[in-house]
Amino acid sequence: MPTRKTPRGFVVAWATLLLLIAGMLLADATSLHAQPCLFWEQQNPQLSPSPRYDHAMASDHGRGRVVLVGG
């Protein structure tokens, strides 16, 4: 489960029932999966953006990606 240490951005990908929450000052990312059961998972992607603040996130369903803008 994500902590409340820093401002966070989030995006919901309805097709996969995935909620991604990113704490951008610490550059951490956590996802909530709904299938096969509800569970949180810490994400450690090979490529990730630098720590940031005042950003926005959205899901691009056509390309199967999360888009991060600003910050």
pLDDT tens for each residue of 18-52: 666 666 566 667 777 777 777 777 777 777 777 77
| Contact of 10 with 67, CB cutoff 8 Å | no
The predicted model scores a pTM of: 0.51
| Contact of 48 with 22, CB cutoff 8 Å | no
Q: Tell me what percent of the residues of the chain surpass a pLDDT of 90.
A: 0
